A and B are shown apart, each in its own frame.
Chain A
Amino acid sequence: MSLTLIIAGIKAILRAGQAGANLYAEHARDRAIFLPDLSWPAAGRRETIGAYFQANPTALDGEPLAAHWVLTPTPHIDTDDPTITDLFCALMLKHQAQAKLVDEGKSEEEAKRDAELLAGGRMVEQWRDSRKPPSAWARMALTITDIGLEFVAASPSMFGIGSKGETLVGSFAEQMNTLIPDNVGDMGPRNGFSDRLLGIFLRAGLGTLEANSSLVIRDENVAKLVSGVTKPIVEALPSNLAEQMVYRDLVDALAGPAAEAAFRLLAENTDDYLGKSFADDKALGAVTTALFTQLQSTAAAGNVLDQFGHDGLIRLYQSGLQVAIDTPALFLASDGSAKQQLFQDLLKGTATVLKDNPTFKGAIGTSMAVMAIETVGAHAPTLLKLDPDKPWELVATTALAQVTETLGAGVESGKGAFSAFGEKQLLDLGRVLLEQAAKTPGMLGVDKTELQAIVAGIAKAMAADDHLLLTSDDWIKIAAVAAREAAANPGRLFGTGASSLATTVIGSVLKVAGDAWSDGTGRAGQPRLFGDTLRDAITAVVTSLGGNITKLKANPDLVKQFMENLVARATAEPDKFGAASIGKLVKSLIGGVLASGSLPTDAQIDAALAA
């Protein structure tokens, strides 16, 4: 055995081993190994938005937001205002959603529309989930969303694509910028208050829609409502804490009803499905500001709130709104600015009048005041044309005073027909007198007026109806006729002095009728002059006062004599003179009697009956 060979063999084996070890070592160094990546935390919101637009600058093409995107020193939004950030976020979400929808197969147009909804929804929900205090916009958007959702749950038929509910919510959302100033920092204590108030109005609007399914509430009406009604309430919020407390309580009590009143006016008296219109937001604002300002100034001291209560005030507010809708010019000065004091004066004035006439306290007083405002307001343009120095609000207050004082005294006395008059009838009586007076030039004023004379005259006549031969409705009809004739014949029927021809003749007819009842036999004596017959006789006599009354003025008892003559004939010939005959005779003969001064002959009676 060769030693050389052995040694060579051993070396060969070792070299083979070495080669294997070398390979293994190389493998250990060079094998694929795990290298950790640089880790990054989740991106913040603002960072995500900035990075998105850095990577996708074309997303800003044609967008107004592009004005806030600056390219140097690094592409960035030029402010950290959360409102602007939110808008960028919404745009980013929209583009992302759009890209995803297109990837899923939607057309560009559909994707764009749906993306806006998706992005908007995600943004609003982000606000809800955000732990930061929401921006003014976020808070308002969430308020609107939440109220809409309430109604979606309660009245699902109101909502859906293009539905009225969705449209109304959209209209309100568009008005957010009416309530949020350009510089959100200017909102001060109103931040938080305004979105709550907008929510109240939206709720009232949706409630109105719910109750009136055929109603369409137009965008421009919502715009005027918000700027004319909601905004003034927001802006009147005092900064002083004590005053703010009082004001917030008032708003809590009244904002909802005020909003409902405003929407009710939109829904009422619709000639077509479009409903009414709010013509001028400044006029609406004047009424609204007056209500809340007046309440603030008197809430502690009483007066209007005491007099009318919350419900009454809302009714008055609605009447003011009605006038502001129908004739907005009444609340605007010549330079177009709103007359803020006007409705306040109306509230104060009517409260004072009613306070002085406690007969008309509570709901009836409010109804009287509402009637005065609406009636005079409806005719105010004419009144102002006649005498621009007589402010219509003062005329309304004066008219209210004149009606309530006189009728109140009558009710207090309890005499005659007044004893049977209920509140509704009193109101109706006041209305017919006011309406006639309001539409007659010159009948209303701020001094002693024809209206006052008419009311006094009617009241005196009513007080004389001791036998209650006429119902309250009869008296209302008589009053209407008397007022009409008085309007057509200024100064003739109800003088502004002590004399009142109409009162005298009415009294005469009543006396005769009363005597016929009080002769001891009542109905058994077959008198005809009562109820409808008596009413028609009185109205015929009153109407005749518009004709030739020369002889009547010379002989004030002429009417009495005529009526007594008829009653006597009826008593003597009951078969000839029924109730219809008496009515016919009075109507056809009274004019001639007043003109001639002579009582009718038998022939004239027969001829009249035969006609």
Chain B
Amino acid sequence: MKPLVPLVLAISLSACVTLEQVKTASNIIKLDNELEAEVRRDRNNPSAATFSLSDIAAEATARAQDADRAAADAISYYRIAATAYWQNHDPAQNTALAEVASLGQQACASVSEKERPDRDCFYLKLVVPFAAIEEAQRNVWPVDETDKGKTRFILDDVNMSDGASNKDIDLTNTAIKGLQNIRTGISALAKIGAENAPLPDNIEGYFCRNTTEAIVRFDGAASTLQSSVETYFRGNPTPNRLTVDLAGAGKLTEFIGTGSLAGVCGG
């Protein structure tokens, strides 16, 4: 019976591998479902079941980093982790977000092009710029102090035409910083789009819809900033209390336009 021992071992090992694959697949599905439920959850309804985005991110990260994990599965887990960190909107987790996105992209690079999951690998490149844009937004459109359920565009409270008050200057400088960061995020997105064109069919719509909106919103906000900055400098302020000069402002607000996505979006 000696020849039977290697066979028995081989059979046992094969069965384990199959079982593991099924378990992993189920875990990925479970985490995806929990992630979706939490992101879509009506946060005003306390009775809805909650999942901790931090916990989802931590579990997904741990599973992705399991030594025996196949690269394709790890990529899925990194995608889930990155999304969970992004949607948690916790600046303390920015580093973790960037880390999992990077690790995920490394996992993508380690598989052959044929094996590579296009959608998740492309998404892992987008998630950090998306999160950065959203983080910058929160300063330019902060929560309205008088109506906590709403946000307020800070430049709506600026009026340089009747003289630049300290408040006008502070709000404008905040807007400048925020829009600089948003522009950085949009530039990154445009570069990703250009470098990966033609985009995978299953994510092209997602990328184009979100990047187009980002450009339109940025251009609208930048237009407002330019109005206030020009009005300010028209008064020949001495010294200049803004964090940019007129030329710098012009560079920041320079029109991007959705036409810049030609060749990537819209065929």
In this complex, which of A22, A27, A72, A73 has the most chain B Cβ atoms within 10 angstroms of its Cβ? Answer: A73
Q: Are A36 and B39 also in contact (CB < 8 A) when A22-B21, A46-B155, A51-B216 are?
A: yes
Mark out the residues of chain B between 183 and 240 whose CB falls within 8 Å of any chain A CB in the assembled complex.
203, 206, 209-210, 213-214, 216-217, 219-224, 226-228, 230-231, 234
Contact of B152 with A18 in the complex, beta carbons under 8 Å: no
Partner of B220 from the list A7, A36, A47, A73 (CB cut-off 8 Å) is A47
Contact residues of A between 3 and 28, Cβ < 8 Å to B: 7, 10, 14, 17-18, 20-22, 24-25, 27-28
Contact A79 B219 (CB under 8 A): no
Tell whether, in the assembled complex, residue A17 and residue B76 are in contact, meaning their CB atoms are under 8 Å apart.
Answer: no
Is A35 in contact with chain B by the CB < 8 A criterion? yes
Q: Is A82 an interface residue (CB 8 A)?
A: yes
Stretch of A37-45, A174-182, A220-228, A384-392 that contacts chain B: A37-45
| A7, A35, A131: most-surrounded residue (chain B CB, <10 A) | A35
Complex contact B224–A47 (CB within 8 A)? yes
Least CB separation from B83: chain A residue:
A36
Interface size, B (range): 35 or more
For chain A, the bracket of interface size reads 35 or more
Q: Mark B13-56, 1 if CB is under 8 A from A, else 0.
A: 01101110110111011001001100110000000000000000
Which of B57-65, B93-101, B102-110, B250-258 participates in binding chain A? Answer: B250-258
Q: In the bound complex, what is the Cα–Cα distance between A311 and B36 (angstroms)?
A: 77
Evaluate contact between A33 and B222: CB separation under 8 angstroms: no
Q: Quick one: which of A20, A44, A54, A79 has the most chain B CB within 10 A?
A: A44
Report chain B residues within 8 Å CB of A51: 216-217, 219-220, 223
Residue on A with the closest CB to B160? A80
Query: DSSP class of B's interface residues: helix, strand, loop or mixed?
Result: helix
Within 8 A of A (CB), among B107-161: 117, 119-120, 123, 130, 133-134, 137, 141, 146, 150-161
Min CB distance B210 to A, Å, is 4
Q: Is the CB of A80 within 8 A of B228?
A: yes
CB distance A185 to B223 under 8 Å? no
Q: Which residues of B contact A30 (CB under 8 A)?
A: 117, 119
Q: Closest chain B residue to A45 by CB distance?
A: B156
Q: Which residue of B has the minimal Cβ distance to A10? A: B11
Task: Say whether A121 faces chain B, with CB atoms less than 8 Å apart.
Answer: no
Residues on A with beta carbons closer than 8 Å to the beta carbon of B213? 38, 40
Task: Please give, as numbers and ranges, the residues of chain B lying within 8 Å of A46 by CB-CB distance.
Answer: 153, 155-156, 224, 227
Q: Which of A7, A21, A22, A36 contacts B7 (CB 8 A)?
A: A7
Report the Cα distance A81→B17, complex, angstroms.
Answer: 70
Quick check: A50 and B227 within 8 Å, CB to CB? Answer: yes
A435 vs chain B, min Cβ distance (A): 57
Most central of A20, A22, A41, A81 by chain B CB within 10 Å = A41
> Can you list, as one digit per residue, whether each of A63-91 has a CB less than 8 Å from chain B (1) or not (0)?
00000000011111111111000000000
Question: What residues of chain A lie closer than 8 Å to B123, measured between beta carbons?
Answer: 35
Q: Does A270 make an interface contact (CB < 8 A)? A: no
Structural contact, A36 and B25, CB atoms closer than 8 A: no
Q: Does the CB pair A34–B219 fall under 8 Å?
A: no
A337 sits at the interface (CB 8 A): no
B66 within 8 Å of A by Cβ?
no
B161 is contacted by which of A22, A25, A43, A79 (Cβ under 8 Å)? A79
Q: Does A132 contact B (CB under 8 A)?
A: yes
Instruction: State which of A36, A41, A44, A55 has its C-beta within 8 Å of the C-beta of B224.
Output: A44
Contact (Cβ within 8 A) A44 B231: no
Shortest B1–chain A CB gap in Å is 10
Within 8 Å of chain A (Cβ to Cβ): is B72? yes
A82:B159 contact, CB within 8 angstroms: yes
B68 at the binding interface (Cβ < 8 Å): no
**A21-B21, A25-B25, A73-B254 as given contacts; A40 in contact with B217, CB under 8 Å:** yes
Complexed CA–CA distance, A73 and B248 (Å): 11
Least Cβ–Cβ distance between A70 and chain B, in angstroms? 8
Measuring CB to CB, which residues of chain B are less than 8 angstroms from any residue of chain A?
7, 11, 14-15, 17-19, 21-22, 24-26, 28-29, 32, 35-36, 39-40, 72-73, 75-76, 83, 86-87, 117, 119-120, 123, 130, 133-134, 137, 141, 146, 150-163, 203, 206, 209-210, 213-214, 216-217, 219-224, 226-228, 230-231, 234, 250-251, 253-255
The 4 closest A-B pairs by CB, nearest first: A44-B153, A51-B220, A50-B223, A28-B25
A-B contact pairs, 26 of them (CB 8 A): A14-B18, A17-B18, A21-B17, A21-B19, A24-B25, A25-B22, A29-B120, A31-B29, A34-B39, A36-B87, A38-B130, A38-B214, A44-B152, A48-B220, A74-B223, A74-B255, A79-B227, A79-B234, A80-B158, A80-B161, A80-B224, A82-B159, A82-B161, A132-B156, A185-B162, A185-B163
